[in-house]
Structure 1
Amino acid sequence: MIKIEIKPSQVDVTERSGEKNGKKWSSREQHGYIYNGGDYPALFLFRLQDGQPPYAAGFYELVESSIEVGEFKRLTFSRSFALRPIQNNKA
């Protein structure tokens, strides 16, 4: 299980937009901490889908479909990044 923590200060969403090659784009992002076996969890940024509310503060696990094999057989996060609350949220 890959554990993610969203702290109360991280429930805000960062929104960006722009234009590239004549096409408009927008991105919604939220911060969290990922527990990856180190001494401390690492701060990272993940995308939210259009219209998706931000994740509330608490502990989550990464949904399996959030990881895919990308170019050159490297693991990447999919565009449909999703988290599942950990039972009783006291991890």
Structure 2
Amino acid sequence: MLKIEVFQDDVKTNVRTMPGKDGKPPRTIYEQEAYAHIGGRFPTLMKLQLEEGQPPYAAGEYTVHSSSFIVNNFGGLELKRFGQVIEPLEIEA
């Protein structure tokens, strides 16, 4: 199971604007930093995309929600590029 960790220092929304291209309007992106435990000695910094107005995730441990996956045209499992959701990791007693 993939563990994603949000530290207290990262409970904030980072906003950036991408300039428009080919006459398209600029796009505002809302993100939050988190860390993915994907093997190795240290977790890897990653960005969680947030919807406009969505509060940042609270500090804690999470995993990827099943709604964040799709089956591609070749029958393979993929993580969605947009609309990923994480859920709190249940701690086993």
* TM-score when normalising by structure 2: 0.77
Whether the aligned pair in 1 keeps the contact of 2:49 and 2:82 (CA below 8 Å) is: yes
In terms of mean alpha carbon deviation, does 68-77 or 43-52 score higher? 68-77
Q: Unaligned stretches of 5+ in structure 1?
A: none
Where does residue 87 of structure 2 map in the other structure? Answer: 84
Whether the aligned pair in 2 keeps the contact of 1:67 and 1:78 (CA below 8 Å) is: no
Provide the C-alpha distance between the structure 2 equivalents of 1:76 and 1:7, rounded to a whole number of angstroms: 23
Q: Which has the larger radius of gyration?
A: 2
More helix by share: 1
Q: Which letter does structure 2 place at the counterpart of 1:22?
A: G
Where does residue 45 of structure 1 map in the other structure? Answer: 47
Q: Deviations over 1:41-65 (max 9, x none)?
A: 1111121122211101111011122
Give SS of 2:9's match: helix
Provide the C-alpha distance between the structure 2 equivalents of 1:43 and 1:81, rounded to a whole number of angstroms: 16
Identity between Structure 1 and Structure 2 (%): 35
Q: 1:62 to 1:71 in 2, by over 3 A?
A: same
In terms of mean alpha carbon deviation, does 25-34 or 36-45 score higher? 36-45
Q: Deviations over 1:3-61 (max 9, x none)?
A: 10000010111111232222221100110000112111111112112221110111101
More strand by share: 1
Provide the C-alpha distance between the structure 2 equivalents of 1:82 and 1:12, rounded to a whole number of angstroms: 16
Query: Offset at 1:75?
Result: 3.8
Q: 1:65 to 1:78 in 2, by over 3 A?
A: farther
The number of residues matched between the two structures is 89
